[in-house]
Amino acid sequence: MAATNCIQLVSYNMHGFCQGNLYLNELCRDADVIFVQEHWLYPSNLHLLNNISDEFVCFGVSAMTELTGKGILSGRPFGGVAILVRSNIAKNCHLVHKSERFVIVRYLDMLLINVYMPCKSVANYTDIYCDTLNNISAIISSQVHASVVFGGDLNFDFYRATLC
């Protein structure tokens, strides 16, 4: 007998919305939940993720909100995370938390956590990494849940590095 609450979940690092939107559209055919990292969208363009498919609802955040408030932008866009949820199960979802590096959505009694961690080239890499994990841990501890799905782009070599 098949489980009635079975969902198909995938994680996808877009390396930019313009570069990755065609494959994201393909993922919408089979997946029920899609963890997206590095969409590189400005806050004013987050609607593009909502428009990727009529069958999905987006819980997303731009990594450039703080940067856009500082005046003229220079350099390339970066970061950004989102969780896309198929519309027929979105009625059972609600946003728990979103920040520059992660989004947490509750689906029934399950926490869905999508994260984009810094890579070693980022200043204060270990501090940001540990702070992000601590923030996520605190939110998990504050929530009533039966299970946690944690995914995304961890940017970490577990065999070579020591952290926290």
Residue 112: CB atoms within 10 Å: 23
Round to whole Å and give the CA distance between 106 and 114: 12
Q: Is the pLDDT of residue 69 over 70?
A: no
Quick one: pLDDT at residue 1? 42
In which band, very low, low, confident or very high, does the pLDDT at 122 lie, cut at 50, 70 and 90? confident
Query: Considering only CA atoms, which of 41, 53, 48 is closest in space to residue 15?
Result: 41
Q: Is the pLDDT of residue 78 over 70?
A: no
How far are the Cα atoms of 39, 57, 82, 89, 98 from residue 95, in angstroms, in the given order? 19, 11, 11, 13, 8
Amino acid at 36: V
Q: Which pair of tokens denotes residue 29?
A: 């055919």
Q: 3-state class of 126 per DSSP?
A: helix
Q: Give φ, ψ of 158 to 5 degrees.
A: -65, -20
What value does the mean pLDDT take over residues 134-138? 98
**Any idea which fold 9-153 has?**
Deoxyribonuclease I; Chain A (3.60.10)
